[in-house]
Amino acid sequence: MGFNESFARHSETGLSTSGVITSDTAVKAVAGKVYWITASCESASVIQLNDSTDDSGTDVWQLRIPDNGNKHVIFDPPIECATGIYIDIPAGEPTTVVGYI
């Protein structure tokens, strides 16, 4: 990747965070990009990222977290969601935070 491509990607502004998510949550109700996800849990959990505004959308990414696990995942390039950003938690009770535009 050349300097200009890298600079253009990092020049986006307005990065937001979801706050702490502990259950299924619509993070954004319109198109957006997910730059990172941080999650931790005491018991094994699963987190799914959906391109939708509710749980009926397409799963575009999934993370499994083991007992007493912590994960921080950076997406470069970010995951683009055309409809919305929805976090689905089908198993466990992870504490999750999403960085997005």
Which pLDDT score, from 0 to 100, does residue 43 have? 92
Q: Identify whether the C-beta of residue 36 lies closer than 8 Å to the C-beta of residue 98.
A: yes
Which pLDDT score, from 0 to 100, does residue 92 have? 82
Domain extent listing, the chain: 15-100
Cβ neighbours, 10 Å, residue 59? 14
Q: Which residues of the chain have pLDDT under 70?
A: 1-12
CA 77 to each of CA 53, 74, 80: distance values in angstroms, whole numbers, following the listed order: 22, 9, 9
CA distance 41 to 57: 25
Which pLDDT score, from 0 to 100, does residue 12 have? 67
Topology (CATH) of 15-100 = Hypothetical Protein Tm1070; Chain: A (2.60.290)
Q: Identify whether the C-beta of residue 47 lies closer than 8 Å to the C-beta of residue 96.
A: yes
Which pLDDT score, from 0 to 100, does residue 3 have? 44
Q: Identify whether the C-beta of residue 87 lies closer than 8 Å to the C-beta of residue 32.
A: no
